[in-house]
Structure 1
Amino acid sequence: MSLELLRSAYGDLSALVGGLTPEEGWQPSGCAGWSVLDLTQHLLDDARRGLVALATPAGGPATTDAVAYWRSWQPSPEDDDSTAWRTRVRASVTGGLPHLAPLYAETAAAVCVAAGRADPGELVATQGWVVRAGDLLSTLAVEAVVHHLDLVAHLDRPGPPADGLAEVRRVLEELVGGPLPDGWDDATAARRGTGREPLTDADRAALAEAAGRFPLFG
Structure 2
Amino acid sequence: MDLFSRSLSDLLDTVAGLSDDDFARPSGCADWLVRDLVCHFVIDAQDVLITLVTLTADAVTHDSVTYWEVTREPADDPLAALTVRLAAAYGEPWMLKHHVDDVGGAALRAAQIADPRLKVSTRDMVLAVADYLGAYVWEWTLHHLDLVAHLPGARRPHADALARCREVLELLAGAFPAAWRDEDVLLVGTGRRAPTERERAELGDRPLPFVLV
Question: TM-score, length-normalised on structure 2?
Answer: 0.90
Q: What is the one-letter code of the residue matched to 1:34? A: W
**What is the 5 A alignment of 1:36-51?**
36-51=34-49
Q: What is the one-letter code of the residue matched to 1:38? A: D
Q: CA deviation at 1:96?
A: 3.4
Q: Secondary structure at the match of 1:212?
A: coil
- Output the aligned Cα RMSD: 2.0
Q: Which residue of 1 aligns with 2:147?
A: 151
Q: Secondary structure at the match of 2:39?
A: helix
Q: What is the one-letter code of the residue matched to 2:90? A: T
2:85 is the alignment partner of 1:96: no
Q: Distance in 1 between matches of 2:68 and 2:130?
A: 15
Structure 2 residues not aligned, in runs of 5+: none
Q: CA deviation at 1:170?
A: 1.0
2:163 is the alignment partner of 1:166: yes
**What is the 5 A alignment of 1:65-104?**
65-71=63-69, 76=74, 79-80=76-77, 82-104=78-100
Q: CA deviation at 1:205?
A: 4.4
Range that drifts further, 5-14 or 64-73: 64-73
Q: Secondary structure at the match of 1:182?
A: coil
Alignment size in residue pairs: 212
Q: Which residue of 2 aligns with 1:194?
A: 190
Q: Secondary structure at the match of 1:68?
A: coil
Q: Which residue of 2 aligns with 1:26?
A: 24
2:180 is the alignment partner of 1:180: no
Q: Which residue of 1 aligns with 2:135?
A: 139
1:103-160 CA-partner distances (Å, limit 9, x unpaired): 2122222212221222223110122211111111112121111111111111121211
Q: Distance in 2 between matches of 1:76 and 1:151?
A: 19
Question: TM-score, length-normalised on structure 1?
Answer: 0.88
Identity %: 36
Range that drifts further, 35-44 or 93-102: 93-102
Judge conservation of contact 1:25–1:96 (CA < 8 Å) in 2. no
Q: Which residue of 2 aligns with 1:217?
A: 212
Q: CA deviation at 1:175?
A: 0.7
Q: Distance in 1 between matches of 2:150 and 2:109?
A: 32
Q: Distance in 1 between matches of 2:71 and 2:124?
A: 13
Structure 1 residues not aligned, in runs of 5+: none
Moved over 4 A (4+): 72-77
